Amino acid sequence: MLHDLQRQIAIFPLDSVSVKGIKYRMLNWSKQFSILVFLDNNSYSSVYPGYECLLAAGSVKHINTDSSDELGELYNLHNNNKDWVFGHFCYEYKDRIESKLHSKQIGKVGFPLVDFFIPETVCYINRDKTQLTIESFKDPASIYNDIMHCHDNVQVSLPEISFQHTVDKETYLKIIEKIRHHIFDGDFYELNFCCEGFANYLGLEPLAIFCALNTISPAPFACYYKTGDKYMMCASPERYVSGVGNKVFSQPIKGTAPRSSDLVIDLRNKEELYKNIKERAENVMIVDLVRNDLARCCETGSIHVDELFGIYSFPQVHQMISTISGIRRSDLPFTDVFKSTFPMGSMTGAPKFKVMQIIEDIELSRRELFSGTIGYIAPSGDFDFNVVIRSLFYNASTGYLSYKTGGAITYDSIAENEWEEMRLKAWAMERIFKTESNK
């Protein structure tokens, strides 16, 4: 085990307490730590087990990030301690999985390629929102008291910031046509192309950014992440991969339609998304890719498509989501799921290896944590990881603030429409830095 100390566990009822207020108190309390992960379900219903929110704060042990076998280090960290483990993989971890891939862009935020840790304290609210559980190597009652004495809101205002973009509209349209020519020539079927928006601003309050983003764009895989001077504020609607017992499942998103305040138009947009041949083609290609990936680590014949073309609604967009599951092979460690499936097909395209090579040639900035993943492994070995999209990234030492947005390009893609979809996804992130008169 980690050391002679054992985690103490205490449960506190929330019957008369605002859950939203408790979340803010937990976040304000966690600011004292140099590393933390806060995962928020934002009250979305789900048939899968999980938490309304989950906070990991402080670190008692990290994996060796200088190792040449991070997956082995991660497996040993969990297996030897049977404890909570939280952390992330950056998109460029693909280069460790596929030795023939090489990322040439330089990261400007600076997240480690991979980082996992056993937290000092874990706090979580159950899905029913009736209790707060605190597991810590310190006294849970004292921690609860400290949390309850923190503010139940975050009132720091955000400055007005104008973002620059690595790709203007004219260049974007030309790149989309170039991708379509590749598809016509048979080089690949689908490619996820992403662009960056960025700004420089020292002195931002990352927690205020997360709370603003999470308010206007609440999502079931939202995350606030701090590691040293690097921060991520995430409003992701997408699950990358989860494991419950020996069952593994993934829920790729492919297919987007705008929301409308007009209920008739909103319903029409939703129905048109479900019927849209192009969006279905994008989705089914990724479903096939995920089935193939899961087959590498699951029992033969166990792969199933549990839901195809499910339509789910979020504050700014409707999304087409499919669910694929399988039974993990008993002779493989849980880390082989990451080895077999990372990076997620919804953020690459098909066939995966070829499009990852092309992405390196056409994208103008390193993805880093964007289209990577962050999540947790429970003491039981169950795990849940998101797809890092709809996110802002900030280096507090340099003031570099960025986000990335993109979409899947197929031969049927209309460049102008792809530009509009990409800007729609960026809207929520840019909007929080506008004055009221400009919103």
Catalytic residues, which ones? Answer: 238, 254
DSSP string, 72-98: HHHHHHHHHH-S-EEEEE-GGGHHHHS
Residue in this structure with the two tokens 């139940």, named with its chain if needed: 152
Structure tokens at 121: 């304290």
Q: What are phi and psi of 2, to 5 degrees?
A: -60, -50
Q: Which run of H or of E encompasses 132?
A: strand 131-136
In contact, 426 and 236? CB cutoff 8 Å: no
Q: Are 44 and 214 in contact (CB under 8 A)?
A: no
Could you tell me where the beta strands, DSSP code E, fall in 141-200? 164-165, 190-200
CA atoms within 13 A on the CB side of 249: 18
Buried residues in 18-29 as b, exposed as e (16+ CB within 10 A): eeeebbbbbbbb
Q: Residue 359: which of 221, 212, 158, 190 has the closest Cα?
A: 190
Which residues are CB-contacts of 149 (< 8 A; sequence separation ≥ 6)? none
Are the C-beta atoms of 63 and 116 separated by less than 8 Å? yes
